[in-house]
Amino acid sequence: MGVKDQGSKKLLPGGRRGFLKAAALGAAAAAGSAAFPAPAIAQGRREWGLVTTWPKHFPGFGSGAELLADLITKGSDGRLTVSVYGAGELYSAREAMDAVLAGEVEMGHGAPHFWGDKVPATWFLASMPFGLTSEEMNAWFHFGGGQALADEVYRQLGCKFFPAGNTGMQMGGWFKKELKGAGGYKGLSIRAAGLGAAVMTAAGAKVASLGAGEIAPALAAGKIKAATWSGPDGDLALGLQEHAKIYHYPGWQEPATCLDNFINLKAWEQLPDDLKAVVRGANAAVNQMVLSEVTARNYAALATLKAEHKVVVKKFPDALLNRVGKLSGEVLNEFARRDKLSRKVLDAILEFRKGAVGWSNISDRAYQSARNLPFAYAKPSPKK
Amino acid sequence: MGVKDQGSKKLLPGGRRGFLKAAALGAAAAAGSAAFPAPAIAQGRREWGLVTTWPKHFPGFGSGAELLADLITKGSDGRLTVSVYGAGELYSAREAMDAVLAGEVEMGHGAPHFWGDKVPATWFLASMPFGLTSEEMNAWFHFGGGQALADEVYRQLGCKFFPAGNTGMQMGGWFKKELKGAGGYKGLSIRAAGLGAAVMTAAGAKVASLGAGEIAPALAAGKIKAATWSGPDGDLALGLQEHAKIYHYPGWQEPATCLDNFINLKAWEQLPDDLKAVVRGANAAVNQMVLSEVTARNYAALATLKAEHKVVVKKFPDALLNRVGKLSGEVLNEFARRDKLSRKVLDAILEFRKGAVGWSNISDRAYQSARNLPFAYAKPSPKK
């Protein structure tokens, strides 16, 4: 996954504040009213804007932002009203953070690595090649010290951070030809993003940086021979299955990508405690709901890809996984050399990962193998 | 896991209402005030009781109930104040549902199978042997039709239902002797609960039904030779490692036990929409947080069990897993014969499970194998 830029309006002087003020004045004039309402906050009621890095109703992600706004607005009984602006409505995806930092809107919804050029430690908060799964990452954020560290990272951006959704496991991507042997990435032109792209480059791939809408055309034209984007549901939406038929797994490069809710730090600090509790609770809910929606949609999408598009779902060879596993460690260390905070975050995740892998090996991993043993299990009743 | 009864106070005439009223009168009298406040609801402010089936601060579960109350109370800015009563404070664990149905408290926190004797379909909502993982179960509840079905089941109890936490994978249990071969459960006296206990009985085990505090003493006295309770953290708290050293995995009998927030249906229906949104959001948050807390605590507990208690962590033989897998299917079908709603719920879960297993095999399962390949990965910096 990568930052998806759907448009590129420049931040306007006056920004959303100007835009909204003009709209409100227009509406008041149209209604024939001379009385302009007192500032909302003076009545103990706040109005916030939430700018997203995805289109307004994008499945899972966009609906997560809508749910966040809805839970805050309804839950606070209107004391804090949040309006969602999808990517391209007021700001492009790439402008989302700047709009929040400038105070033109109060909060945004994206993913930590979108801000890697501003604060490098955000790279490690999104998803790490061969790193934590979504369940493990949530355990780290909430009960492993991750929230405090992530807040330290986002303070450098001028924001408060909440984990606000997760993609769960992604796929390894689409390939015109099956990757064989340890050196499969060597010389391959592939669209990829984030830390995974850096690992593929280290493995000899020629990585193309393309936005969401550019991937399918590049595959169709043969400019790239492979592409990673997300999981079955997100990939199906982009139509990648039309131009490459080998669908490799597992998605070692992005095992669980965290979404972020970033809030202008001053706006956050000015919230009274009860509204802080509302925002905190809404984010914990959205964090769960986005993962659940993407997970459920992936089941259906995977079935569609196999049945209707004759996609060949194929595991990466172990030799290749072993190779990129080693390279992942090297790339992570390299990125962590950029600054002390990056190393601090990486160290904390690696420490937590030891316990996570130990437990998952005897819990989820062992269980998921056991339920695939050849025994006959219960079946749904025949449909009438 | 099973219903944990910490005490057995009978429901008193007047119940909590009487108790609280007396306490309030006492406090008012003590303060020298003659004015007794008008009923809270008349001022648009409600006061609810939340009765739990676990001790007040029990890690993960009890803290989940506290968080639920806190998110609702703070988030609603006191429009709905929720007070938590731990098991044994006003009611025992087994009395929790009756207290809610009688309207003595408005909501409770437990697990669906605790109410299996009242409404059999609840068995399938808790955890099914060889059924869904926590992530899959959440996807089913929120985006697979599960919430609507669970509401149908809980309406038979007179309650509104929310999933409000999950244990994640449990362990297979504690054994004085390693289980070998397909017939390991035959003749074994073991403490177990729920559908898993029924499967073990079908496999020839002599199942003992014991409450939390009774398990370690029974193991110590040799009355039972094995016991299942929960995962590493919960098991460590009960001290089971003192009396049996073989710790088998995976916990096929309870792959992910859902906790429930059950709300008196009339109380729920009388809530205004904004407070319904608060309760809904708080539950989604708690559902996530309980799993995260239990997961993080399991890492530490597993390390303690191995390092300090010399526990032998050992996989069940595949032949045994294959046998209980087949028996699980038979037992599920048998339970589903009890009533139409049970069959309807089982059918829905089995249908969803097909997509879940298909996706998990190429996502989480494949990934968790891949990250255990022998490659050298990044390591935390040496501690200074």
Chain B contact set for A76 (CB, 8 A): 75, 77
DSSP state of B231: S
Say if residue A159's pLDDT is above 80.
yes
Cβ contact (<8 Å) for A363 and B168? yes
Instruction: Compute the average pLDDT of residues A337-348.
Output: 96
Query: All domains of chain A, ordered by start, with CATH?
Result: 42-168+256-296 (3.40.190.170), 173-254+309-356 (3.40.190.10)
Contact B204, B187 (CB under 8 A): yes
Beta-strand ranges (E) seen in B210-348 are 226-227, 246-249, 258-264, 312-315
Mean pLDDT of chain B: 90
Contact B100, B263 (CB under 8 A): yes
Interval A246-268: pLDDT, tens: 999 999 999 999 999 999 999 99
DSSP state of A170: -
Q: How far is B275 from chain A (nearest CA, A)?
A: 7
Contact A65, A54 (CB under 8 A): yes
Cβ contact (<8 Å) for A356 and B281? no
pLDDT of A22 reads 40
Backbone dihedral region for residue A174 (phi beyond 0: left; psi -120 to 50: alpha; all else: beta): beta
Cβ contact (<8 Å) for B367 and A295? no
Q: How far is B152 from chain A (nearest CA, A)?
A: 19
pLDDT of A383 reads 79
Interval B254-312: pLDDT, tens: 999 999 999 999 999 999 998 999 999 999 999 999 999 999 999 999 999 999 999 99
Q: What's the CA gap between A55 and B64, in Å, rounded? A: 34
Nearest to A142 among B289, B318, B370 (CB): B289
Instruction: Count, in order, helices (H) and strands (E) of chain B.
Output: 14, 11
Q: How far is A18 from chain B (nearest CA, A)?
A: 30
Burial class, B58, CB count within 10 angstroms (exposed 0-12 / middle 13-18 / buried 19+): buried
Cβ contact (<8 Å) for A370 and B285? no
A303, A380, A259, A250: which is closest to B356 by C-alpha? A303
Q: What's the CA gap between A281 and A287, in Å, rounded? A: 10
SS3 content of chain B, % helix, strand, coil (to 5): 50, 15, 35
Chain A / chain B CB contacts < 8 angstroms = 315
Chain A contact set for B261 (CB, 8 A): none
Chain A contact set for B336 (CB, 8 A): 378
Q: How far is B29 from chain A (nearest CA, A)?
A: 31
Say if residue A18's pLDDT is above 70.
no
Tell me how far CA of residue B91 lies from CA of A58, B15, B16, in angstroms.
47, 9, 9
In chain A, pLDDT over 90 holds for what percent of residues? 82
DSSP secondary structure string for all residues of A315-372: EPPHHHHHHHHHHHHHHHHHHHTT-HHHHHHHHHHHHHHHHHHHHHHHTHHHHHHHTT
pLDDT of A43 reads 65
Cβ contact (<8 Å) for A361 and B368? yes
Q: How far is A31 from chain B (nearest CA, A)?
A: 29
Instruction: Compute the average pLDDT of residues B72-90.
Output: 93
Q: What's the CA gap between B312 and B174, in Å, rounded? A: 10
Nearest to B325 among A281, A357, A377 (CB): A377
Say if residue A153's pLDDT is above 70.
yes
Cβ contact (<8 Å) for B355 and A282? no
Q: How far is A354 from chain B (nearest CA, A)?
A: 9
Q: What's the CA gap between B221 and B214, in Å, rounded? A: 11
Q: Name the residue in chain A with its Cα closest to that of B128.
A: A378
Lowest mean pLDDT among A32-41, A91-100, B205-214, B310-319: A32-41
Interval A224-237: pLDDT, tens: 999 999 999 999 99
Tell me how far CA of residue B369 lies from CA of A355, B219, B249, B379, in angstroms.
16, 35, 16, 19
Task: Write out the H or E segment, with its range, that includes residue A136.
Answer: helix A134-143
pLDDT of A288 reads 94
Say if residue A21's pLDDT is above 60.
no
pLDDT band at A2 (very low <50, low <70, confident <90, very high): low
pLDDT band at B1 (very low <50, low <70, confident <90, very high): low
Cβ contact (<8 Å) for B373 and A328? no
Strands A46-52 and A80-85: parallel
Interval B147-159: pLDDT, tens: 999 999 999 999 9
Cβ contact (<8 Å) for A79 and B79? no
Q: What's the CA gap between B195 and B370, in Å, rounded? A: 33
Say if residue A269's pLDDT is above 70.
yes
Q: In what order do the strands lie in the sheet with B107-110?
A: B80-85, B46-52, B107-110, B258-264, B159-166
Cβ contact (<8 Å) for B355 and A300? yes
For residue A32, give the 3-state DSSP assignment.
Answer: coil
pLDDT of B58 reads 82
Q: In what order do the strands lie in the sheet with A206-208?
A: A206-208, A189-191, A226-227, A173-175, A246-249, A312-315
pLDDT of A257 reads 94
Cβ contact (<8 Å) for A371 and B282? no
ipTM: 0.90
Nearest to A288 among B138, B366, B378 (CB): B138
Q: What's the CA gap between A141 and A119, in Å, rounded? A: 19
pLDDT band at A42 (very low <50, low <70, confident <90, very high): low
